[in-house]
């Protein structure tokens, strides 16, 4: 599939782009930027983005997905759906679930549910301490091997100095 997003205002800090341009996409990948005066490539669909900003997907480093344990509040799938609806392609799930994400099994569950949803990238953040209780370190090495990208007790302090 070939798509031209035309007449948008493109902001891409990684590429140093901050201008009115047309964005050409082929088979789901950005092929290049065209000036707004250039004709669209043959055989492509055109989306008119006049008055819109075109940017890479956003990342939210602090989301509360509530699954496992509190699915009645939000599931990983519903949180990922809300994220992509708002322009976020990556979300990082805090460990305040039940059970707390303080071990590899919960980490793997979060990753699997995120992959099953197949929407935004879902990266789990593991707890610093067991049960986020602030007294005994969680198995961070095992969680890292399972796929966490960071650690946090999500607003709770670590009480034990050792």
Average pLDDT, the chain: 93
DSSP3 helix / strand / coil % (the chain, rounded to 5): 20, 35, 45
Q: What is the pTM of this model?
A: 0.80
The three-state secondary structure class of 24 is strand
Query: Hey, what domains does the chain have and what are their CATH numbers?
Result: 2-54 (2.30.40.10), 58-151 (no CATH)
Give the separation between CA 32 and CA 29, rounded to whole angstroms.
9
pLDDT tens for each residue of 111-151? 999 999 999 999 999 999 999 999 999 999 999 999 999 99
- Are β-strands 2-12 and 17-26 bridged in parallel, bridged antiparallel, or unpaired? antiparallel
What is the reported pLDDT for 158?
Answer: 83
CA 150 to chain centre: 14
């Amino acid at each position: 599939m070939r798509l031209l997003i035309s007449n948008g205002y493109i902001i891409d800090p990684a590429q140093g782009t901050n201008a009115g341009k047309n964005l050409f996409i082929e088979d789901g990948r950005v092929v290049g930027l065209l000036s707004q005066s250039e004709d669209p490539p043959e055989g492509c669909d055109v989306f008119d983005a006049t008055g819109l900003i075109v940017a890479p997907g956003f990342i939210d480093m602090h989301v509360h997905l509530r699954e496992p344990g509190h699915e009645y509040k939000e599931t990983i799938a519903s949180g990922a759906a809300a994220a992509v609806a708002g322009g976020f392609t990556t979300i990082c799930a805090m460990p305040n679930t039940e059970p707390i994400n303080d071990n590899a099994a919960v980490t793997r569950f979060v990753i699997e549910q995120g992959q099953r949803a197949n929407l935004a990238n879902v990266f789990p953040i593991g707890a610093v301490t067991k049960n986020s209780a602030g007294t005994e370190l969680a198995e961070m090495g095992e969680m890292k091997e399972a796929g966490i990208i960071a650690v946090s007790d999500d607003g709770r302090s670590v009480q034990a100095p050792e």
